[in-house]
Amino acid sequence: MAKATTTLKQVLNYQPDHSAWFAANQALFNQVAAFYFEVIQAHEKVLDLSNKEALTALEKLTHTTQKNPTPVMPLEEILEDIPAMFRRAAIHAALGSARSFYSHLQKWRKRKEKTLAKGKKFHERPPVPPRSWNKSATLYRGMWKERAHNSIVLKVWTGTCWSWVKVRITGRELPSDAEMGSPALIRHGNQWCLHTPIEKQFKSPGKIEKQVTTNAQTKMCAVDLNINENLAVCTIQTVEGTILATKFIGGGKEISGFRKKQLGRIAHNRRKTGIIAENEQDNVHLWNKIRHVDEQIAHLVSARIVQFAKQHDTTILVFEHLGNLKPAKGKYSHRGNSKRAFWMKGRIFKYAKYKAYNEGMLTSRVNPRNTSRECARCHSLLARYEEGQEAQGYMYGASLVLCPTCGMKGNADRNASLVIGQRLVTRYQQSSKEKPPTPLLAERVSRDAGVVVSQDAKCEEEPSIPQTGHGDTNEHGTAQDRPLRMDEHLSDIPCHLRLPLE
């Protein structure tokens, strides 16, 4: 069995003055978390302990009891009578932040040491501990009771006392087959919501290697991510090579045009004011607008990819590694745009991996080398060109390809996605055919075949950060249900994303 975590988001209905109580409750939670962060800074060794042991150690340092009448740093100085479960939730929040901060600091020290040892100068600034705390209060058991599908009773700090408050809940109901975690009281603008992590168990999909090497009918969805009009092109194919369906997810031009406009405005504003204050983000509103739309598109595109894969009962999702960002030349808006388009590809991958995992699919990445230049049918080098031009040479980013060797003709991005899928199969078939005695040899064998076994191929299979709850987007696009041949015309399957632009 495997587990998937999602977040159930519910809106709360409460009396108007309760909103101030929730805010006071959150402020106190952050004050206590910040306090514990300081305690940890003063006793760094705590971080060598497990969370459970660290909790005990931190309580001993701060919590006054009969057995422990004079703790080193008493929490009472902030407020007396903080409920134990409130304190523990804040301690865990502080521990999480502290672990992350110290691991970044350690990595930074290592990089510094390494660079200085080489006799080079080290300019990177060290990570800083959080300057302000803005965490949402997690409600451990004991801080809430009587949870029903439309109401819950919460214990909150009102600013002057601890009080039980009954609030109404609207939104999705708790699924009956899922296990519920501790809810958190979250503010969205002026509205307070309850977010509850829920864990679902499902039959775990077999390892990719096993699926690929033992069943030739295993279906994969291979995805080519682009920064041109087709943000993603997906093909469904079986391990033995039958192509079952293709889907084009468009909207690239629209998002690029939107970004270009906003970046142009930012450049214009900067020229007007002349200076950019250090450590201060300029044009906050415009940047937020870009960020928001990028994020939304990444969620939409990843949801579509997973939905398409699910419709065709695929169990594996394949992408190519993104490689490094090649800095574009030209105007500020153009450079900024291509940088953001590149980041968005990374985000689409990350979200798709999550959403796929929650549907019981595993995700992998393959070597991106020449995926656009190789013929999916015979693996020769392709000619790439635009409609109306002569089919020869290689025009970067053009939409059509022709294989001079086997005559295959078709859409360039679709060809690339087919090649991506085939690479995954090649990787595992190579390694199973010549089953190597050592992992080192395995890597060499694969490299000889032109496919690099990715270092993180194994850990790629399961997502590492719980980021979920956005997979419920509606489908406006169309997908081809019948098998397509490479030389068929594909212009009949455009699929545009609707953007909430301006």
Binding site for Zn ion (CB under 5 A): 375, 377-378, 380, 403, 405-406, 408
Instruction: With CA atoms as reference, report the closest residue to 425 among 469, 364, 375, 369.
Output: 364
Cβ proximity to Zn ion, 229 vs 374, nearer residue: 374
Stretch (H or E) spanning 5? strand 2-13
Pick 251 or 410: Cβ nearer Zn ion: 410
Do 89 and 140 form a contact (C-beta atoms < 8 A)? Answer: yes
CB of 220 to Zn ion, least distance (A): 21
Report the residue number, 225 or 403, with the smaller CB distance to Zn ion. 403
User: What distance in Å separates the CA atoms of residue 304 and residue 351, rounded to the nearest whole number?
Assistant: 11
3-state DSSP assignment of residue 39: helix
How many CB atoms are closer than 10 A to CB 359? 18
* Closest distance of CB 237 from Zn ion, Å: 16
Report the C-alpha gap between 358 and 469 in whole angstroms: 10
Nearest residue (CB) to Zn ion, 92 versus 377: 377
In 14-146, the DSSP E strands lie at 137-138, 144-145
Select 475 or 487, whichever has its Cβ closest to Zn ion. Answer: 487
Q: How far is the CB of 403 from Zn ion (least distance, A)?
A: 3
Largest Cα–Cα distance in the chain? 88
Nearer to Zn ion, 262 or 415 (CB): 415
Question: Least distance to Zn ion from the beta carbon of 381, Å?
Answer: 9
Residue among 51 and 405 whose Cβ is closer to Zn ion: 405
Q: What is the bridge-based pairing of β-strands 400-402 and 409-411? A: antiparallel
CB 464 within 8 A of CB 219: no
The type of residue at 93 is A
- In whole angstroms, how far apart are CA 335 and each of 229, 283, 329, 340? 18, 18, 6, 9
Q: Shortest distance, CB of residue 384 to Zn ion, whole angstroms? A: 13
Kindly state the smallest distance separating residue 379's Cβ from Zn ion, in Å: 7
Give CA torsion, residues 301, 303, 306, 307, to 10 deg.
-110
Looking at the Cβ atoms of 20 and 381, the one nearer to Zn ion is 381
Tell me if 21 sits within 8 A of 163, measured CB to CB: yes
